[in-house]
Amino acid sequence: DQVLHIVPETFQQIQHLQHLCSSLLLDLWKPLLPEDIWAGEDLHIRVPGPLVQEVKDSLDQHMIFYKVLIPDVQELVDQSMPRESSSHRQVPEGYVYTQYHPMEEIYQWMTQIQKSNSELVTQHYLGKTIENRAMYYLQISQPSDKTKKIIWMDCGIHAREWISPAFCQWFVKEILQNYKSDPKISRFLKNLDLYILPVLNIDGYIYSWEKDRLWRKNRSPHMNGICYGTDLNRNFNSSWGSVGISYNCSSEIFCGSGPESEPETRAVAHFIERKKSDILCYLTIHSYGQYILTPYGSTTKPPSNSEELMHVAEKASAALMGKYGTRYEVGSTSLILYSNSGSSRDWAHMIGIPFSYTFELRDKGTHGFVLPPDQIQPTCEETM
Amino acid sequence: DIDDVGHRYHLELVLEDILDKDSTVNCTAEVLYHLGNKNIAPDVQFTIEGELKNTDEADNIFYNRIKSLEKELVAENIPDSHGNVSPEMEPIRLLAWVASGYVIWQNSTENTKFQLAQIKHVKQVKRSDEYLEFDYIVLLHEMVSQEIIPWQMTVLWHPQHGVQVTQDSRHPKHA
């Protein structure tokens, strides 16, 4: 398909153009209607591929000058929506990891991932959200006779941070595509189980797709429905309600009516509490800012294993920078970012999980929460 | 710390051209946050070592394109939810960035960190003189409170005379 640019000069030319449009049912981009075609004014018509030559011949016959504005409409469409065309046997055919997906697609993706990788992946129910939606995590576990330590990773605790669930999905895909061929990954899976929660704040995520792109909290109603949403990352039982929070529901950092007041928080906390003796590392993925944050946000007092925590985080940051030169700052939240209490990362560490980190992915504010899809791949690759 | 006056910071920074990452320029600045009255913008003094890139050509192309529009420009949600910005809207977004930089400066304290999150709405205002005028509603993200604050700004621009924010105000948030 091509789009032609014409500036009609005479009344006869206009008549002929109107005739062409209506007889061939051409797609007028500018103006909208044939009757609005005027002499001296820009005309843009999209001509379907099979008719291009016929239309051009007709224009030539009537001495109507034209320019090709868009030589290939499909190419332009494809450019604005990249499509993954390579075949991935272990991952759903045609699932595009370099695009953002709405929740229904992510639910389908989880089912599909388990189906195509049933020797490694199981989907588990975690609980229900305040709007009654099911929360699932994926367990990636190589069958073995010994109990393995667990690495937990959750994404999407804050609705507007779309790059975060995108990263969880990418992560799963990478592991599943490469665990047989990549020695690092296969060694990983020999000794560790991966538990991935692709979207923690499901209701909020859906709300950011349908109503308010920059929504952050969950969707629990307060004050008889006058005000909505608790900041789930202020709702955990780690010095809850003490600092960097608000008791006002209309605030973005409203910490809820009490620690673990939200069903989403409880679903995650109860599960992790049960498994805590086997959990080696707790990761929670956010955006934006480019940080690897260690405990605590609620106090500047360093955690007991602070040296080790920092050492591992510094190595991660260096590895990340090695990929595309992206700089991630490393340190405790209260020292390098701001104070906050009730965070999931603080809570995980407080109940005994030795390695607990918050990742704040790209970027540093240029695009902020609305990171363009062409940055999904590099962000995920470097974070991987 | 400056007793009874405020806090002064000395900064050495590198400015990077968004449109040409290899083009950088060193900059030093002094920022004074005033004690007490938080309604006064911080004082800023700066020196740039070297020259900023000449943008006359791109400026004139954009200027002429807007000047030749038949109807005043109107647009919403830049970028869109997925982060996309059409090429025609890119200069409109860059203009909003610059203008919101001024608004952010005027409203910053030591405890705020603002970023432009999105242009909610922009409407060109017809003018009889050579300036271009745009009425923006932008969304500012404040990092510490995590709030999204709608802000109205009226922006004047001309290739030779630069950017001016002639009016700005916190926009009432709809319930």
Residue with tokens 């994404």: A155
> Which stretches of chain A sit within 8 Å of chain B by CB?
80, 99-100, 209, 213-214, 216, 231, 244, 246, 251-253, 289, 338, 365-373, 375
The span from the CA of B76 to the CA of B118, in Å, is 10
Confidence of residue A82 (pLDDT cuts 50, 70, 90): low
Confidence of residue A81 (pLDDT cuts 50, 70, 90): low
Partnered with residue A282 across adjacent β-strands are: A152, A356
Question: How many distinct structural domains can be found in chain B?
Answer: 2
- DSSP 8-state symbol, A78: H
Q: Which positions of A are annotated as active-site residues? A: 360
H/E run at residue B160:
none
pTM above 0.80, yes or no: no
Same domain, B68 and B48: no
The span from the CA of A315 to the CA of B104, in Å, is 35
- Please state, as a whole number, how many other Cβ atoms lie within 10 Å of the Cβ of residue B8: 13
Given B34, B53, B72, the domain boundary residue is B53
Same domain, B36 and B18: yes
Same domain, B34 and B73: no
Per-residue pLDDT for A264 more than 80? yes
Same domain, B42 and B20: yes
Same domain, B94 and B105: yes
Same domain, B48 and B58: no
In chain B, alpha helices (H) = 56-67, 90-106
φ, ψ (nearest 5 deg) of residue B155: -120, 130
| Span B31-77, pLDDT tens digits | 999 987 678 899 999 999 988 888 899 999 999 999 999 999 999 99
CB-nearest to B144 from A213, A338, A367 is A338
Same domain, B111 and B133: yes
3-state helix, strand and coil shares in percent for chain A, rounded to the nearest 5: 40, 20, 40
Same domain, B157 and B124: yes
The span from the CA of A114 to the CA of A106, in Å, is 12
Using an 8 Å CB-CB cutoff, list chain B residues near A368: 115-117, 141
Ramachandran area for residue A355 (φ above 0: left; ψ -120 to 50: alpha; else beta): beta
Strands B6-17 and B74-78: unpaired
Given B36, B53, B70, the domain boundary residue is B53
- Please state, as a whole number, how many other Cβ atoms lie within 10 Å of the Cβ of residue A349: 23
Residue with tokens 């405020």: B6
CB-CB contact of A370 with B118 (8 Å): yes
| Span B117-138, pLDDT tens digits | 999 999 999 999 999 999 999 9
Query: Which CATH number covers residue B123?
Result: 3.10.450.10
Same domain, B62 and B111: yes
Same domain, B7 and B63: no
Using an 8 Å CB-CB cutoff, list chain B residues near A371: 83
Confidence of residue A271 (pLDDT cuts 50, 70, 90): very high
Given B15, B34, B53, the domain boundary residue is B53
Domain extent for B3: 1-53
| Span B143-166, pLDDT tens digits | 999 999 999 999 999 999 999 999
More confident residue, B20 or A217: A217
Chain B interface, best mutation among A251, A366, A369, A376, by max B CB count within 10 A: A369
CB contact under 8 A, B83 and A209: no
Q: What is the mean pLDDT of residues A248-261?
A: 96
CB-CB contact of A64 with A37 (8 Å): no
* Listed range (A67-71, A199-203, B25-29) with the worst mean pLDDT: A67-71
Question: Which residue segments constitute the domains of chain A, with CATH numbers given?
Answer: 2-76 (3.30.70.340), 103-211+236-383 (3.40.630.10)
Burial of A246 (0-12, 13-18, 19+ CB in 10 A): middle
Same domain, B37 and B116: no
H/E run at residue A128:
strand A121-128
The residue among A106, A94, A19 whose CA lies nearest residue A55 is A19
Q: Cα–Cα–Cα angle for A171, A342, A246, nearest 5°?
A: 120
Same domain, B45 and B69: no
Confidence of residue A76 (pLDDT cuts 50, 70, 90): confident
Per-residue pLDDT for A109 more than 90? yes
Residue of B nearest to A217 (CA): B146
**Amino acid at position A358, single letter:** T
